[in-house]
Structure 1
């Protein structure tokens, strides 16, 4: 009979534990306690340049939310300094430094107020409007946001405590999304939408609390030097307070997540129910399905052969067996009292559409005719002016017998590019040669008379 040596079991256990520590230990590559302490304390303050960076980042994030641009929002999250005071709170709790906690809370409160004011001002003055997907995504926090903030904060604190700096903190800033909820809260204030404000601010609070909690956890694991209490009961109270804050923050999000999951499950079941049941109907097709989970309402629009009420009641009776008890099935069919469509209404609709199209086409045609008429009138005015110019030139210089005026485009022969403004080309036929002084005088007179500096004057000899 084989017996197990207790010493051998203990030895194997110790080796396994040592191997696990090698793989998962946080001590390898860790910066010194002094460096960690300096880094975390140094990131707490948000004032001076950091305050301006925060406001600029809020503006960038608000614009990203307003134009529904994910890339712009990510850029704003990368330049935001909000992570510093949040991690400072967690580190202060972890080492029981209440002075650091108070200082971090002060800067976080100031940063939050300034962020809310900045985003509210932006959304008050922006000409854009509309609740885009990026805004709506920050108004319903759930347990998934809690998990993102928790694991993101853990990754961030591990990254901060390393000797070599990495891109962990920027990644955590993107994942936990501190800026967009604050901007969405500002949008809610600017538009008087309190559900937006409270939902977004709750999401921001979740991120703050669980990033701080993650910082506390990693700090306790690394056991840096911390303040000691004369009475251990105070230390226990601090830990109990941390747990209480975590629970108070997380419980509402769990409820919201549960409700969201229930709604998604209901929608999936309803869609599958409609797909399965309506597929059995011959010569009838589903034109559209609308599911409202909050009211447990399933609306179906059918086209094709009409389904009698008895058959529809049989289908509705099967809702309970498909996990949709208490739901209401509303079926719209072409021809029933709720969606009456007759030939006269169709004719009226078509006639109305044709009238609108014809009216628009006639308006466009009138606009083109008006533009052509304006061009013709301008040409007549130009011809009249050119005739006056020719007469006036002949009166001043009787030797000028012919005048040709034309607008032309001047080209650069080397590059082949056209100059921006047109040139007025003037050709004069003179019975006697014009001296240089006369040519300069005529050119200046033409510039004043035609109200343009761009004159190209050419003089030729009149041949009888």
Structure 2
């Protein structure tokens, strides 16, 4: 039974010839000519996506990025003790990284939009989950490149490992002189590169790729110790960031319980909320629509914070209406652009739908009054494609009558329907 399971998950099945794989990997390592241009274009696309907060654009940039080549090459070089391939891969990865940083820095320096969007901010504080994504994404990638049939995993790996956005975020940090963003993004990029490389190293060892240079036991131990130290060096800060993220989410959850029990359940309409987690002490700023709190009530509420496991926290209830109004208006203005864009899209869709929808029942009733012999009238839409980019929608009317309508009556009905439907052209046919 155990042997059957091992055969079922055996990676040697469907494996491509090792020599062909090594040749493909070696060719993909180099960054010259077209690869540099493709990389620069992908960086610009990803930077635009981060600039306008568009996930779809960022994903598109990741799909066309050639950055995986030298990283996987480094993993193969390490796994086969091919130090020439390793050196070549690292050299080309450094070139690609510098080209990416210069391109993204120039873009963000020239861009008139300097505000950090959520997609960009997400790449400044990596944690343990980013390590897991990079490692398992790297496993999928190297398994895919060693298969006879590459299949769909390759583009998925490009998206999952997300090498492009951190580089663009680092360029954003350089362009604005924000070195915290730069260092956070470069740390995430380093995590991705190293753990994709380590995943590649493990699969290369498992599949028993030929060793280029025989190393004695002492040198093999040095390689293993070096990898272990590098993993520990990268994991430690990311675990700390993950712990911080967990603490913040846990704190926010307890704040919500406090607000629910002390305010929402008492029907106090909340119009302003701001949680300052990184302040010392932490601050919860609130404002209410009608409820006014005196000093004693605020003091009692602050004492209750301990009961909700919210130590080192100060509750501030904003009742200065002038300054509060300014803060609320600033929040509204910050979100107004997104709201306006949604409203424009909704109105556009409504206008498009209005071209297709007619009040058929009402038109039918009016038609029977104007043309008493009509028994039914149906309205549909027919799309005429003028060329590859334009089309025209024409209403088509089918009618039934107890007796045939003469030509003059049909012309009259057609003119009335044009006016009624507000269309330049329509088609009218009698249904037998």
Aligned to 2:399: none
Query: 2:52 aligned to 55, 58, 67, which one?
Result: 67
For the Cα contact (< 8 Å) 2:82–2:213, is it kept in 1? Answer: no
Aligned to 1:292: 276
Q: 1:54 aligns to what SS in structure 2? A: helix
Q: 1:46 aligns to what SS in structure 2? A: coil
Query: 1:274 aligned to 233, 239, 259, which one?
Result: 259
For the Cα contact (< 8 Å) 1:263–1:294, is it kept in 2? Answer: no
Aligned to 2:296: 310
Q: CA deviation at 1:103?
A: 0.6
Q: CA deviation at 1:38?
A: 1.5
Task: Write out aligned runs for 1:226-241 (5 A).
Answer: 226-227=211-212, 229-241=214-226
Cα 1:171–1:340 change in 2 (3 A) is closer
For the Cα contact (< 8 Å) 1:229–1:235, is it kept in 2? Answer: no
Moved more, 178-187 or 68-77: 68-77
For the Cα contact (< 8 Å) 1:157–1:215, is it kept in 2? Answer: yes
Q: CA deviation at 1:129?
A: 2.9
Cα 1:267–1:83 change in 2 (3 A) is same
For the Cα contact (< 8 Å) 1:300–1:332, is it kept in 2? Answer: yes
Unmatched runs of 5 consecutive residues or more in structure 1: 1-15, 346-464
Task: Write out aligned runs for 1:328-339 (5 A).
Answer: 328-333=314-319, 338-339=320-321
1:127-148 superposed Cα distances (whole Å, 9 cap, x missing partner): 3332122211211111111111
Q: 1:330 aligns to what SS in structure 2? A: strand
Q: CA deviation at 1:281?
A: 4.3
1:252-285 superposed Cα distances (whole Å, 9 cap, x missing partner): 1111111111111111111221111124547x43
Aligned to 1:320: 306
Aligned to 2:99: 114
Q: CA deviation at 1:340?
A: 7.4
Q: 1:35 aligns to what SS in structure 2? A: helix
Task: Write out aligned runs for 1:147-162 (5 A).
Answer: 147-162=132-147
CA–CA distance in structure 2, aligned partners of residues 120 and 340 of structure 1: 40
Unmatched runs of 5 consecutive residues or more in structure 2: 326-432
For the Cα contact (< 8 Å) 1:119–1:187, is it kept in 2? Answer: yes
Cα 1:328–1:48 change in 2 (3 A) is same
* Bigger Rg, which one: 1
Cα 1:280–1:45 change in 2 (3 A) is closer
- Kindly report structure 1 stretches of 4+ aligned residues shifted beyond 6 Å: none
CA–CA distance in structure 2, aligned partners of residues 280 and 38 of structure 1: 67
Q: CA deviation at 1:230?
A: 4.9
Q: Does 1:196 align with 2:196?
A: no
Q: Does 1:185 align with 2:170?
A: yes
Task: Write out aligned runs for 1:40-55 (5 A).
Answer: 40-55=25-40
Q: 1:173 aligns to what SS in structure 2? A: helix
CA–CA distance in structure 1, aligned partners of residues 94 and 18 of structure 2: 27
Cα 1:66–1:286 change in 2 (3 A) is closer
Q: 1:30 aligns to what SS in structure 2? A: coil
1:202-228 superposed Cα distances (whole Å, 9 cap, x missing partner): 111111011101101111111111145
For the Cα contact (< 8 Å) 1:189–1:197, is it kept in 2? Answer: yes
CA–CA distance in structure 2, aligned partners of residues 305 and 153 of structure 1: 55
CA–CA distance in structure 2, aligned partners of residues 86 and 51 of structure 1: 15
Q: How many residues matched?
A: 323
Q: Let me know the Cα RMSD of the aligned residues.
A: 2.0
1:157-186 superposed Cα distances (whole Å, 9 cap, x missing partner): 110110112121211111111111111111
CA–CA distance in structure 1, aligned partners of residues 292 and 38 of structure 2: 64
- TM norm structure 2: 0.71
For the Cα contact (< 8 Å) 1:65–1:134, is it kept in 2? Answer: yes
Q: Does 1:86 align with 2:71?
A: yes
- TM norm structure 1: 0.66
Q: CA deviation at 1:231?
A: 2.1
